[in-house]
Structure 1
Amino acid sequence: MLQAVPENYNQPLTRWGHSWRTFLCLVISGVAWASVVARQWEDFQAWFWLDLGVGLASFVLVSFRRRWPVPVAAILSLTGLVSMTAAGPATLAVVSLATRRKLPSIILVSLLSIVCGQAYTHYQPAYSSEDPAWLSFAFLLLMTIAVAVFGMYIGSRRELVWTLRERAHQAESEQELRVSQARSGERERIAREMHDVLAHRISLVTMHAGALAYRTDLPPEQIRETAKLIQEKAHEALTDLRQVLGVLRDDGIGDRPQPTLCDLPALIEEAAGSGMRIDFASEIEDGTPPSDQIGRTIYRIVQEALTNARKHAVGSHVTVRIVGDEESGVTVTIRNGIRVGSLGMPTTPGAGLGLVGVRERAALAGGTLEVSRTADTFTLRCWLPWT
């Protein structure tokens, strides 16, 4: 956010702004000069032309008040020694200086104005007044203070308006940033869901279809069973995809229940039924189970690990072990062998997004994920808090 300095909250003047300020200066100068102009013209014409010339020069000089506020205000205050027609520009310069609300310079220029104005009443031959000197001085003092206070009020108001406008712009920018971040987060969440769910289903379809292409000696009955299984998995993948697209369209389709830790045995059984060799062990402490979010994260991590094993290590042995309690959290360890050479069956290409997704899931749940690899083993280990 920009700093509230006079250069920021004193906005450039429009043509109308220049016009009404010039007119007001003319009015002030006319009222001030009216008290001496007749006598100057009749008895002291040299003072008349000096007063008028200095006044015209003051109208030119006052246009530079924002560029050099203190020098211009000081010079125009000094013109009060010889010119009443400079009263308007001098008043405008003091007001402009006061909008900056810098007390030392305001006090200095105000004192200079009072001294010059008081001096003018003493040595100006065309000036005459029946009022006592103290009354003239009091009037000049009050007018100077009023002009300075008015200028400071204008400066405060400009700063307040500018600050509110800047805060509104900043709030709008922050709101746009939050919306953008929310959209990005939602896209990432949907991408993770699509990858975790569809990759699992499609990998099963690919594995069974590859088996059909590889095993040409299967009896017709087994071919029909495998084809039926492929059809079921493809239908499940289509259902999951329709669910995700329904969320994107927000067309009122109800969300299916999200998987939790209780659904993990069914996932293991499904993977084992597709031909994978899996050893599963769960040593979760009895009592209060982990939260649904942690359970869902565990499910998705195991699902992705099984999908990767099915895609990149066909026929390998997979061990899944889950250990945890309320004090130490939950540790998920998944280990599978690394395939050496080719079995003649096609493999499913991967984009490397699976591990990225599970790392993000673990981080969002407040956990950590480590991946290690040896010559013959791939291990994924994840720690998650209990709640």
Structure 2
Amino acid sequence: MNESTTAWRRGPRDWLVDACLFLLAVVFGMVLAGLRLDVSPRPPSWLFNLDQTVAALGCAALWLRRRWPTELAVALVVLSVFSELISGAMLIATFTVAVHRPPRTTMTVFVASLVAAIGYVLLRPEPDMPATMAWVTGAAIQGAVVGWGLYVHHRRRLAAAMRERAARVETEARLRAEQAGQEARTAIAREIHDVLGHRLSLLSVHAGALEYHPDAPAEEVARAARVIRESAHQALQDLREVIGVLRAPVGELPQPTFADIRQLVAESDRAGMRVTMAEEHIGTVPEGLGRTAYRIVQEALTNARRHARGASVRVRIAGAPGAGLTVEVGNDAGGHSVEPTGAARPGRGLIGLAERVALVEGRLEYGPTEMGGWRLTAWLPWSPC
């Protein structure tokens, strides 16, 4: 909002500035009037009285400079063609235009004031000063006032631009913080799903077996109970590590490696799944790449345990530096789902897995096979270095 729209809502500082400028214009006019009375020949009394009246009205009109700065400046410039005492008010009005209006408007008013000065020196020539010298003196004073006003104008624009930039930087910083927080929450949710989903699926499988086979031999019941106890204990341990994400950077927490995939497959095999694994990779798998491969196998085994109980599962990992790492997990047709009615909407784990693969610029494909099974295939880039 510019100052012209708040003319009638001046603050204490505005009232003080306007009063000082009004008094300055009045004093300037009175000094010129006193000097004019001391020189000879004196101007005609009617012209001197008219000049004083116009100057008084011009000084009073300065109180409207905030509302109509350009219009007031143009009017005073026109009156300055014959009025000498109004020059102080005219200079203040021109200064106001330079401060509050675009430079193009300021230069237009300035050129008009120079033309008006030519008219003044022609209509009221000074007896002891050449017309050219009088015009140059007036033009120099007006140019100094306009230059000062333009300086203030650009300083204010620079300050406003700096405030706007600071506000924009603050907004961007806030948005970046919100985005970082959202990414952190997403990472935590992904970790919780990946870590606890595997353990809880083991609990679900063995608890379901006890429910559907209450007359199972005591050895099988004891074996299922032992797996449930071990899985519950490990789930609590994993949960403590995941909660540590809220207290420490993720990099400081223990993370799975590529070598842990074998233990993951063996654990699933001990839990009753028929899992086979084949490795055809060349070289040592980098830490970040191995962690992503571990999460892929973990999610695939969890889904197979939930939705294809009893089916055989094959895990194949192949690749080499420069060619990428391929992780493939598939299961045969058969088996049945152990998800209870009203379970959480399926597919959330695969969505999180797709996000994890996309972070490393890999590819993820999954879907049913022609034989009625299910296959998940991921390709991960492997730097040749």
Q: Answer whether contact 1:58 1:76 (CA < 8 A) is retained.
A: no
Q: Which residue of 1 aligns with 2:280?
A: 283
**How many pairs are equivalent?**
373
Using a 3 Å threshold, how does the CA distance of structure 1 residues 291 and 150 change in structure 2: closer, same or farther? same
Q: Which residue of 2 aligns with 1:136?
A: 134
Residue 74 of structure 1 deviates from its aligned partner by 2.5
Q: Which residue of 1 aligns with 2:353?
A: 358
- Could you list the per-position Cα deviations for residues 73-113 of structure 1 after superposition, in whole angstroms to 9, with x for gaps in the alignment? 32221121243453344223322332368555444322322
Q: Which residue of 2 aligns with 1:3?
A: none
Bigger mean CA offset, 328-337 vs 198-207 = 328-337
Q: CA RMSD in A?
A: 3.2
Amino acid at match of 2:241: Q
Q: Answer whether contact 1:80 1:116 (CA < 8 A) is retained.
A: yes
- Could you list the per-position Cα deviations for residues 153-190 of structure 1 after superposition, in whole angstroms to 9, with x for gaps in the alignment? 01110111111111110110010011001000000000
TM-score with structure 1 setting the length: 0.85
Q: Which residue of 1 aligns with 2:61?
A: 60
Matches of residues 247-326 of structure 1 in structure 2 within 5 Å?
A: 247-250=245-248, 255-285=252-282, 287=283, 289-326=284-321
Unaligned runs of 5+ in 1: 1-6
- Could you list the per-position Cα deviations for residues 19-67 of structure 1 after superposition, in whole angstroms to 9, with x for gaps in the alignment? 4134213313431343236759995246524642464256437735665
Amino acid at match of 2:204: T
Using a 3 Å threshold, how does the CA distance of structure 1 residues 8 and 304 change in structure 2: closer, same or farther? farther
Q: What SS does the aligned partner of 1:321 have?
A: strand
1:386 aligns with 2:385: no
Residue 242 of structure 1 deviates from its aligned partner by 1.5
Using a 3 Å threshold, how does the CA distance of structure 1 residues 42 and 92 change in structure 2: closer, same or farther? closer
- Could you list the per-position Cα deviations for residues 111-141 of structure 1 after superposition, in whole angstroms to 9, with x for gaps in the alignment? 32233235335535xx966344444223212
Structure 2 Cα separation of the partners of residues 95 and 192 of structure 1: 64
Q: Answer whether contact 1:29 1:87 (CA < 8 A) is retained.
A: no
TM-score with structure 2 setting the length: 0.85
Q: Answer whether contact 2:324 2:379 (CA < 8 A) is retained.
A: yes
Amino acid at match of 1:192: R
- Give identity over the alignment, percent: 36
Residue 8 of structure 1 deviates from its aligned partner by 6.9
Structure 2 Cα separation of the partners of residues 11 and 164 of structure 1: 23
Q: Which residue of 2 aligns with 1:4?
A: none
Q: Answer whether contact 1:196 1:304 (CA < 8 A) is retained.
A: yes
Structure 2 Cα separation of the partners of residues 95 and 42 of structure 1: 29
Q: Which has the higher contact order (CA 8 A, sep 6+)?
A: 1
Matches of residues 330-369 of structure 1 in structure 2 within 5 Å?
A: 330-339=325-334, 347=340, 349-351=343-345, 352-369=347-364
Structure 2 Cα separation of the partners of residues 190 and 253 of structure 1: 9
Q: Answer whether contact 1:323 1:332 (CA < 8 A) is retained.
A: yes
Q: What SS does the aligned partner of 1:99 have?
A: helix
Matches of residues 1-387 of structure 1 in structure 2 within 5 Å?
A: 14-15=10-11, 16-36=13-33, 39=37, 44-45=45-46, 47-49=48-50, 51-53=52-54, 55-56=56-57, 59-60=60-61, 63=64, 69=70, 71-99=71-99, 104-124=104-124, 130-250=128-248, 255-285=252-282, 287=283, 289-339=284-334, 347=340, 349-351=343-345, 352-374=347-369, 376-387=372-383
Structure 2 Cα separation of the partners of residues 8 and 332 of structure 1: 64
